[in-house]
Amino acid sequence: MKYKTPYPELLSTAIIWAIAASVTGALLWLLSDVFWHGMSQVNWEFLTQSPSNAGREGGIAPIIVSTALIVGVCLVVSIPLGVGTAVLIAEFAANKSILGRLVRLSLDVLAGVPSIVFGLFGNAFFCKTLGMGFSILSGGLTLACMVLPILIRSTQEGFRAVPDDYRRSAAALGVSRIATLWELLLPAAMPGVAVGLLLGLGRAIAETAALIFTSGYVDRMPESLWDSGRSLSVHIYDLAMNVSGGEANAYASALVLVSFLVLINSAISWLAQRFRQSKILVV
């Protein structure tokens, strides 16, 4: 006997599959467009040469180096600060204390602050007040402020996913708080931390607006963290908007940027998966 499915059920199923298909379609369109146009430009020379003629010709070597340095500064500062803060808030500070509430509220605000406002702040604070000028250091520190709430929040989410039972039973077994944190909570919170890293790293590498007025435009090879450096994203922006005939190299740079991101995304989610599995199997 065939069974009759109610009309709203059929309709909603059709709509939901159609939505999933069109979102996937849009993603594939964007990716294939960037891949197709970028692929013809990207080669070894492109990755190892300096840009010339305002970026229309030549490669992006110094730009890759600047990007790596900026993101490096950002992560070195933000990871310990972010995970540490999350641990403190989630495990040690009473959630309902006024301080805890205030910190959480300010993090919510921080998470929502537009990147361009971070740019303004970075420009005023790191570049001017602290006298770092347009430099990789200014850019990296500005990004660190930006990535921080993402890291904290998703680490917290991970902690929240740990049932209170774990904590209570660990406490009942006389396991110390630190050991509980290390053996039970951190592994359980790993997916949260990994998602935070993923989003944070993605946001840092992808960021443009906060960098234009902090790390600057200079497309020479940086000699130190105090030099100005142009990030990949700023390079794409500049080629697309300010340089006529820069489209081809903009596509190529976009392909490099997107590839980095895809690579990092995959690596991190793979790592998180592995780490979680091994920990759970051992424990």
Closer residue to another protein (CB): 47 or 105: 105
Within 130-189, the residues that bind another protein by CB under 8 A are 145, 148-149, 152, 157
Within 8-67, the residues that bind another protein by CB under 8 A are 8-9, 12-13, 15-17, 19-20, 23-24, 26-27, 29-31, 33-34
Stretch that binds another protein, among 1-9, 41-49, 59-67, 273-281 (CB under 8 A): 1-9
Does position 193 interact with another protein (CB under 8 A)? The reply is no
**Interface mask toward another protein for 255-274; x: CB under 8 A:** --xx--xx-xx---x-----
CB of 236 vs another protein, minimal distance in Å: 5
d(CA 263, CA 249): 21
CB of 115 vs another protein, minimal distance in Å: 6
Structure tokens at 226: 């105090």
Among 52, 76, 114, 168, binds another protein (CB under 8 A): 114
Within 218-257, the residues that bind another protein by CB under 8 A are 233-234, 236-237, 240-241, 247, 250-251, 254, 257
Closer residue to another protein (CB): 12 or 169: 12
CB of 4 vs another protein, minimal distance in Å: 6
Within 62-101, the residues that bind another protein by CB under 8 A are 81-82, 84-85, 88-89, 93, 99
Among 207, 219, 227, 229, binds another protein (CB under 8 A): 207
Closer residue to another protein (CB): 27 or 280: 27
d(CA 101, CA 84): 17
